[in-house]
Chains A and B, each alone.
Chain A
Amino acid sequence: MSALSSRAKRETAPASQFLRLLPANPGLALAALFLAVIAIATVAPALLTTADPIAADPLQAQLPPSWEHWFGTDHLGRDVFARVVHGARYSILIGVSAVALAATAGSLLGLVAGLSRGLVDEVVTRLLDVVSAFPDLLLALVLISFTGPGTTNLIFALGVAFVPRFARVVRAQTFVIARSGYVEQARTFGLSRTVLVLRHVLPHAVAQVPILATIGLGSAIIGAAGLSFLGMGPQPPAPEWGAMLAEARNYLRVAWWIGVWPGLAITLTVIAISVLGRRWQAAFEGRRSE
């Protein structure tokens, strides 16, 4: 019954209705606003700050937050606000690229495996089993030990590590839906296999991919920052958020502000992404749970 009603509502709840929700929900609007600022920082950081994120100024080292330096300055006298703003380009783009890579490859693999039972399914499942036998970040670390650190290598490593979570869910959904009651029912109407797959299996099988990609984007941004924290990503003096925190760790006793802002930027971005993603998922499913 709930499946029926959700399907009925889904058709009337596309992106436009989601956009109309914004003014009525301050939390959602705030999240969207924050992400818009992050998007500006990613695309055109010069609009938000004129300070140089790289140039050192030893005379200005380790100043606490002030009107002149909103977020203070770091041990080399660089403006922390400018570094956080310019860092969005690294942290966000690495996460987005890795998830795009993983979602595309994973959905394809999952669908193929879920529909073609037998040998293909067996091979894909085994392959996924092997890849996911290595924990995400550890797999990325192993790949990086072959390729060496760097932005592109980090994207590739994270992307590969995130493939199984998409592939496995899409495969399991495809599998369950392909043998569920209503597909059975649809089959009794004499629908062809193509129609069954495209109209009744596919939409439900990939229905979870957006929420997975959203959650995945959050954890990809966190994972990318973590690997950069370890020195596997963009190399200094690039203002990547995780790399900034690694430097800040050493100056925590004297300058707390260096260790706060980049982390806050990561956390708020990930929260905003989750809030938007969940609401979008709820609208997609026709549920108004929150």
Chain B
Amino acid sequence: MDSRNTSVATPVPAFAVSRLFRLRRNGLTAQIAGRIGSGLLVLWAAVTLSFVSVHLAPGDIVSLLIGEQLRTPEVEAAIRAEWGLDEPLPAQYLSYLTRVLHGDFGRSYILQTEVSQLVLSQILPTLKLTAAALFVAIVFALVSAVLSAGRRVPRSIAGALELTLVSTPSFWLGILLLYLFSFTLKLFPVSGDRSFSALVLPALALGLPLGAVIGQVLRQGLERALEEPFALTVRSWGTSEFVLRLRHGLRHAALPAVTLTGWLVGSLLSGAVITESVFGRPGLGRVTVEAVLGHDMPVVLAVAILSALVYVTLSTLVDVLYLWLDPRLRSDSREAVR
């Protein structure tokens, strides 16, 4: 039962082997498969939830799906056929599941287009924005945490900067950046997505506040790690402070920060909605806002399910990363991590 105790007493190579061995015994693959399975379960529940909410929403389902569009007998017949409204509920549910599985989110009756085509055509600008913002956030967090952890003056400077950034709404930061760099200094374009320079301000506006959140957590974790006995051990090897922070401290500090990053990707997605509208960028966010205001439910539901897919995929990856970063979680992990 306790391979842990024996491995402590054995010399290093044997320790490594026994660690490998334990991995297999505890079934890292099985655990990863479990995570993926529960991710799929969440996705299925999310799709089901969207189906249920359409049916539970007050009012008649046709007028819900039709939104602000004029209601004609032809449109109504098309909706009834598409959603199979004349069939029994379980059959409707099954055909909805099948459709979503095939990536078919139905038709937007307001925009007169297939939802999946609309979403696909708008996904690229949003991906560019979120990727650039994530890059900004991670770079900011790493630099700020590694340079300032445990040092009095840098710590208070970084702390104040982070506090200000965390407290700044990204859309206001966007407005300030626009005023300063686009209207006054004329360095970057005011709106659109035609060039790389059009990406800089939106990525900063979206990424900096998130980077500040990650930075705070990362520094706390790093400081805690640097106070632990293992840090003293590593220092006694004559390792430089910088290497200690990068190689040993960050590994411990990363644990809480990594979970947070999974959650922050969610905020990146919803932040993109607001940032796109500040900077007049094309993208999913703009489509979403217009759909919500125009009651274009097929589009809203498609975006919601898509974002859930992205979120579940990434958080499953984070969970797996967790297992990889902290071997202590592997034995009793399923309940301990979440």
Contacts of B49 in A (CB 8 A): 130
Which listed residue (B46, B267, B292) contacts A144, Cβ 8 A?
Answer: B292
Q: How far is the CA of A144 from the CA of B293 in the complex (A)?
A: 9
Choose the segment among B110-118, B121-129, B137-145, B164-172 that binds chain A (4+ C-beta atoms closer than 8 Å): B164-172
Convert B146-173 into 0s and 1s, putting 1 for each residue whose CB lies closer than 8 angstroms to a CB of A.
0000000000100100011011111110
CB-based contact A138/B169 at 8 Å: no
A87 CB to nearest chain B CB (Å): 13
Return chain B residues, CB-CB under 8 Å to A231.
289, 293
Do B179 and A175 have beta carbons less than 8 Å apart?
no
**A107, CB-defined interface residue at 8 Å:** no
**Interface stretch of the complex, out of A46-54, A186-194, A200-208, A248-256:** A248-256
Bound form: Cα–Cα A253–B166 in Å? 27
A232 CB-CB contact with B under 8 Å: yes
Q: Which of A210-249 contact B (CB under 8 A)?
A: 218, 222, 225-226, 229-232, 242, 245, 248-249
Q: How many residues of B contact A (CB 8 A)?
A: 53
Interchain CB contact under 8 A, A138 and B168: no
* Bound-state Cα–Cα, A175 to B338, Å: 10
Q: For A134, A149, A231, A275, which residue has the most chain B Cβ atoms within 10 angstroms? A: A134
Contact among A146, A168, A218, A263 for B176, CB-based, below 8 A: A263
Cβ of A129 under 8 Å from chain B = yes
Report Cα–Cα, A137/B263, bound state, in Å.
12
On whether A126 and B163 interact (CB within 8 A), knowing A135-B267, A145-B295, A252-B175, the answer reads no
Could you write out 23 A-B pairs with CB less than 8 Å apart? A126-B42, A132-B263, A135-B267, A136-B267, A137-B273, A138-B273, A138-B288, A138-B303, A138-B307, A142-B300, A144-B292, A230-B274, A231-B293, A232-B292, A245-B175, A249-B278, A252-B175, A252-B178, A259-B179, A263-B169, A263-B172, A268-B167, A274-B163
Which A residues have a C-beta under 8 Å from some C-beta of B? Answer: 125-126, 129-130, 132-139, 141-142, 144-146, 148-149, 168, 172, 175-176, 218, 222, 225-226, 229-232, 242, 245, 248-249, 252-253, 256, 259-260, 262-263, 266-268, 270-271, 274-275, 290
Chain B positions near chain A (C-beta within 8 angstroms):
38, 41-43, 45-46, 49, 53, 57, 156, 159, 163-164, 166-172, 175-176, 178-179, 183, 263, 266-267, 269-271, 273-274, 277-278, 288-289, 291-293, 295, 297, 300-301, 303-304, 307-308, 311-312, 335-336, 338
